[in-house]
Structure 1
Amino acid sequence: MTDYSRNIYAESSDGRASLKNLLREVIESFLNSLIEQEFNNVMGYGKNDAAGRSKLDTDNYRNGTYTRELLSTCGNLSLTIPRDRKGEFRQELIPQYARRTDDLEDTVIKLYSYGITNRETAELLFSLYGKRYSASTISNITEAAKEVIDKFKTRHLNRRYVALYADATWLNLRRDSVEKEALHAIVGITDEGKKELLAYSVFPTESASNYEQMLLDIRGRGAEEVLLIVSDGLKGFRDAAKRVFPQARTQRCWVHLLRNAGFLVRRSDRARLIEMLKGVFRQPDRETAERTLRNALGLYGRLYKKLYTLFADRTDLWTLYEFPEPIRRSIYSANIVENIHRQLKRRTKRKEQFPNEDSLERFVFSFAIDLNKRSGDRIQPGFLQCRKELDDMFEETYPKNR
C-alpha cells in the first residue's frame, strides 16, 4: 500500500464510511500525490531515495512538511506540503490563498465516473493544469482508486436483509479482444426497508457459482440473516443460494417467466397470454394464483406444449405468498436489480467498450456509491407498514441467533 493512501484504511474496521467520506479521501489522496510529484520534480529525487539524492550535486534537501487545510464540498482536506532546506519549492497545483477545490473535485470525480485509462488520466490532467505528470504519479492515482474501491466492496453490511436480488447485465469489455461480459449484481433490502447495492463483480459468463462466491462474500461482511433471495431461475442458483443461506427462502422472478413465455408463442397470442400470466401473481392468495396459472396453461398449453415445460418446476413460484401482502409487489420479481442495470446501461452509452477490468470497476464503483447515496434513507413501499410481521419472520427463521 502506498504512503499517500494509507489513511484510506485508517477509519474504524467496520468499513461504514459514508459516500462523503469516501470521496473526501479520494480527493485528498489524489491532491497529496500530485503535490508530492511536484516536489520530487523540483528536488530531482523521490522521497526516501537516498541513492538518487547522492547522485545530485546539491546542498538542498528535504526539510519536513507542513499541513494545509482546504475546504471541499466533501469536507476539510488535509494537504501535506513538503519543504526543502532552501525554501525553493512553491507548489503550483493549489493557489497560495485558495481555500476551495471545486475544479479539482470535478477532475477527481471524472477519473472515477468515466472509468478512464491511465493514458486518458494523463491527458485530462494536462488539459486542466498544463502539466505532464509522471507515469508513477498516474499509477499512484490509479492505485488509490483501487484501494478506495476495495474499501467500498469490503465494507461491513447490515445483519438482516428481508430480500436479496441477483441478476446480471452484459457490457463490452476488452481483454485481448472485445467481448460482452456479465456484470453480476446483488441488491439487498434491509429489515428497515432500505435498498442498497451490496456487491458487484464482472465475469466472462453468468453462472450460479459466481453468485455463490458473491453471496459468501456478503455473508462474510456481516449479513447473517436473509429471509428471501430472488433470482431469474438460472440453473443451479437455488442450490447455490441454499448452500450459503440455508434458511433463506427463494423466489423465481415472474417478470423473467413472462418474458420467456412470450418467446414460446406466436406474436398474435403473446399479449393475451402475458396479461393472463400477470393475473397469477396479482392474486390475493396462493390457491387462487395456482388456479389462475392452470387456467392460462389450459388455454394455451394445448397449442404451445413448451409452456408446460417452462412452468414444470414450481418449487419457488409461490414463495411471495409467505410474506405480508404490502411487500409482495417488491418481491415477486428481480425488477429492483434490473432497474439498476437499466440506469447503469444508460450511463455506459457514451462508452462503446471498457478498455480493461479496472476501468469497468471504477465506473461501476462511481455508479454504486451514487445509487446508494440517492437511495439513502428512502423506505421501499410496504416495508414500514409490515415491519412487525417481518421482525417476527426473522425471529422464527433464525431463532438460534437471538
Structure 2
Amino acid sequence: MSEATARLDEALQAFFTRRLAEPYPYLILDARYERIREAGVIAGQAVVVAIGVDWEGRRQVLGVELANRESRSSWREFVTRLKRRGLAGVEFVVSDDHPGLRAAIREMLPEAVWQRCYMHFLRNALDYVPRKVDDDCLMELRWFYDRCDLAEVERDLAHGSASGRPNTETGGLGGNNIEETLSFYRLPLPHHKHISRLTLLERLNQEIKRCTLVVASSPTRRAVCGWFGRWPWRSTRTGSRRPLPQHGSSVRA
C-alpha cells in the first residue's frame, strides 16, 4: 500500500507541475472550502482550482492548490504559477464575483474578457427583491440568458426599464451589474451554455463533496488534490462537437 501511495504521489506531483504546452482560450476559476487535517490540526482551507478549455473544446484541470483563504494574493500567486508552467492564449475567463479573484484576474490576465457566472448573479439578485416576487423575478432574469445574441438582451433590458418590471428594481442588478454576466454573448452560440457559468467546475466540486462526506475524518492535502487530479484524464468537451474557432477569433469584439 505504501508503495502504491508513493507512486500516486509521484504521478500527482508530475501532473500538477506539468508544462502547459498548448494554449487555453477559456479559463474557469473557482474555489471551495474544505476542512483539512495537517500535522494533527484540522482547519478550513480554500481549494483553488483552474479548468482550461483548449482549441479542440477539451477541458482539463490545469491546477489545484490549497490556500489559507481566498484573497487577491493567493489567487495572484496561483495564476502566476500557472503562467510559469506555460499558461498562455487566455481570451475568456469565467469566475464568480469574489473581489480578490476579480482583482487578480485584472492584474494577471488583463487581455482576457471576464464573464461573471450568471447563476451566482441570479442568487445575489434575489437578495434585493421581496420574497413574494422571487420566482417571477428569477424567471424574468433567466430569460436574458436564453437569447441568441446580445442585441436581443439589450432590447429586453430596455423594455424592462421602460415598464418598471421587477428585474430593474434589484438594487442596480438589472442595470450595470448585469452586463458583467453577458460577456459570453461574444462567443460562438454552441459554447454559450457551458461558458456562461461555473457549471463545469461546480459539477467537479459536487463529486469532491461526495468524497469528503463519507470519509471518517477530515481529508489531508494530498487526498483533496488527488480527488481533483483524477478528473483531467476524462475525455470531455464543452458541449459542442465542433472545435473552437481558430486562434484570435473565439471572442468577438
TM-score by length of 1: 0.56
1:171 matches 2:30: no
1:368 matches 2:228: yes
1:286 matches 2:160: no
Other structure's SS at 1:393 match: coil
Task: Choose from 66, 70, 95 the match for 1:231.
Answer: 95
Other structure's SS at 1:160 match: coil
Task: Choose from 318, 326, 332 the match for 2:182.
Answer: 318
Other structure's SS at 1:165 match: strand
2: CA distance between counterparts of 1:294 and 1:181?
A: 43
Cα distance change, pair 352–173 in 1 and its aligned pair in 2 (3 A): farther
CA contact (8 A) 2:27 2:53 kept: yes
Task: Choose from 63, 69, 72 the match for 1:205.
Answer: 69
What residue number does 1:300 align with? 166
Q: Which has the higher contact order (CA 8 A, sep 6+)?
A: 2
TM-superposed CA distance for 1:292, in Å, is: 2.6
2: CA distance between counterparts of 1:229 and 1:390?
A: 18
Cα distance change, pair 193–296 in 1 and its aligned pair in 2 (3 A): same
Task: Choose from 7, 12, 16 the match for 1:153.
Answer: 16
Other structure's SS at 1:181 match: strand
TM-superposed CA distance for 1:395, in Å, is: 11
Other structure's SS at 2:184 match: helix
Q: Which amino acid aligns with 1:363?
A: A
Q: Which amino acid aligns with 2:187?
A: F
Task: Choose from 196, 206, 209 the match for 1:342.
Answer: 206
TM-superposed CA distance for 1:311, in Å, is: 5.0
Other structure's SS at 1:347 match: helix
CA contact (8 A) 1:178 1:353 kept: no
2: CA distance between counterparts of 1:198 and 1:368?
A: 10
RMSD, matched Cα = 2.9
Q: Over residues 299-353 of structure 1, what are the superposed CA-to-partner deviations in whole Å (9 max), with x where a residue is unaligned?
A: 1257x553x1585435533221211111111111111111111111011111364
Report percent identity of matched pairs. 22
Q: Which runs of 5+ in 1 are unaligned?
A: 1-26, 32-107, 112-140, 398-402
TM-superposed CA distance for 1:146, in Å, is: 5.0
Q: Which amino acid aligns with 2:23?
A: R
TM-superposed CA distance for 1:354, in Å, is: 2.5
Cα distance change, pair 282–158 in 1 and its aligned pair in 2 (3 A): farther
Q: Over residues 173-193 of structure 1, what are the superposed CA-to-partner deviations in whole Å (9 max), with x where a residue is unaligned?
A: 245754432211111111111
TM-superposed CA distance for 1:223, in Å, is: 1.7
Cα distance change, pair 264–145 in 1 and its aligned pair in 2 (3 A): same
Q: Over residues 108-165 of structure 1, what are the superposed CA-to-partner deviations in whole Å (9 max), with x where a residue is unaligned?
A: 3xx5xxxxxxxxxxxxxxxxxxxxxxxxxxxxx5xx6655433221111142112111
Q: Which moved more, 1:258-267 or 1:269-278?
A: 258-267
1: CA distance between counterparts of 2:41 and 2:141?
A: 42
1: CA distance between counterparts of 2:174 and 2:73?
A: 23
Q: Which amino acid aligns with 2:230?
A: D
What residue number does 2:57 align with? 193
Q: Which runs of 5+ in 2 are unaligned?
A: none
Instruction: State the structure with more CA Rg.
Output: 1
Cα distance change, pair 194–299 in 1 and its aligned pair in 2 (3 A): same
Q: Which moved more, 1:288-297 or 1:277-286?
A: 288-297
CA contact (8 A) 1:225 1:394 kept: no
Query: Number of residues paired by the alignment?
Result: 250
Cα distance change, pair 325–217 in 1 and its aligned pair in 2 (3 A): same
What residue number does 1:268 align with? 132
Q: Which amino acid aligns with 1:313?
A: N
Q: Which amino acid aligns with 2:249?
A: M
1: CA distance between counterparts of 2:205 and 2:78?
A: 17
1: CA distance between counterparts of 2:243 and 2:65?
A: 33
Question: Residues 3-402 of structure 1 correspond to what in structure 2 (within 5 A)?
Answer: 30-31=2-3, 108=4, 111=5, 141=6, 147-174=10-37, 178-295=42-159, 298-300=164-166, 305-306=170-171, 308=172, 312-314=176-178, 316-351=180-215, 353-354=217-218, 359-360=220-221, 362-373=222-233, 375-376=234-235, 378-382=236-240, 384-385=241-242, 387=244, 389-393=245-249
